[in-house]
Amino acid sequence: MTTARAIAYLRVSTDKQADGGVSLEAQRAKVEAYAALYDLDLVAIEVDAGASAKSLERPALARTLAALKAGEADALLVVKLDRLTRSVRDLGDLVDLSGRQGWGLLSVSEQLDTRTAAGRMVLNILAAVSQWEREAIGERTAAAMAHMRANDEYTGGEAPYGWRVADDGASLVLHEAEQEAIAIARELRAAGLSLRKVGAALEDRGILPRTGERWHPEKVKRLCTAKVAA
């Protein structure tokens, strides 16, 4: 029986991991042990150090796929599928590519071998579960953010006028000067001044928007309805 040839692909996502070498060394040990256990001829080990899995545009992965296409190996071996990609779509594209070109995808952690019908079925199930999990997380996150916005809670980004982001980066604290500007704007508006005149009055007092521009009526309108301290 001919020994199957495999190319191992390793990846770490940060330069720190790459410099430390711990993650790469652990991956290398696992693929070498897997190859010995399943009688694979490990013809090459390709490494993308400090590379994101957001896309398939990675130098070592490109070399790996080119070698597989050229018939220099029969399978692509990874420690875990997320070392190869975190995208269900990209994973599907790679599986389609492997089917057309005649090479298999092997994963140590998932005990996956797409050279068999059972392995291909398991991969499809894993991909479907992964897609469901990501969509479910996205739905929960969106619902949580909507709830926070509805309750005027801080959801990240620039703090609303009258507030500033606290040192912990996760909450808001009063911006005294801006709170005073809101109070003045409301008083002037309650006294019957138009939005334009309220803006002019604020400018006369040296109170300007954060951008340093003039108070346009729409900005004054938002200022008058801004959240104030309880």
pLDDT computed for residue 37 by the predictor: 94
Instruction: Considering only residues 6 and 87, tell me which one the structure prediction assigns the higher pLDDT.
Output: 6
Q: How many domains, the chain?
A: 2
User: Is the same domain home to 107 and 34?
Assistant: yes
Label residue 229 by pLDDT band (50, 70, 90).
low
**Domain coverage including residue 84:** 5-134
Q: Does residue 230 fall inside a structural domain?
A: no
Please measure the distance between the N-terminal and C-terminal CA atoms of the chain and give it in whole angstroms. Answer: 78
pLDDT computed for residue 148 by the predictor: 56
pLDDT computed for residue 106 by the predictor: 95
Which residues lie below 8 Å from residue 159, measured CB to CB, with a gap of 6+? 165, 172, 175
Mean pLDDT for the stretch of residues 170-187: 87
User: Is the same domain home to 126 and 24?
Assistant: yes
- What's the whole-model pTM score? 0.56
Residues serving a catalytic function are: 13
Which residues lie below 8 Å from residue 107, measured CB to CB, with a gap of 6+? 77, 78, 79, 80, 81
Q: How far apart are the C-alpha atoms of 78 and 85, rounded to whole Å?
A: 10
Q: How far apart are the C-alpha atoms of 64 and 73, rounded to whole Å?
A: 9
User: Is the same domain home to 43 and 127?
Assistant: yes
Which residue type, as a one-letter code, is found at position 104?
Answer: G
Rg (CA), the chain: 29
The neighbouring-strand residues paired with 42 are 6
User: Is the same domain home to 95 and 191?
Assistant: no
**Given a cut of 80, is residue 230 above it in pLDDT?**
no
Q: What is the pLDDT of residues 118-173, one digit of tens each?
A: 888 887 777 777 676 777 777 876 776 666 556 556 566 778 888 888 877 777 78
Q: How far apart are the C-alpha atoms of 44 and 141, rounded to whole Å?
A: 41
Sign of CA dihedral 28, 34, 37, 42: negative
User: Is the same domain home to 109 and 72?
Assistant: yes
User: Is the same domain home to 117 and 187?
Assistant: no
**Given a cut of 60, is residue 22 above it in pLDDT?**
yes
Q: Does residue 142 fall inside a structural domain?
A: no
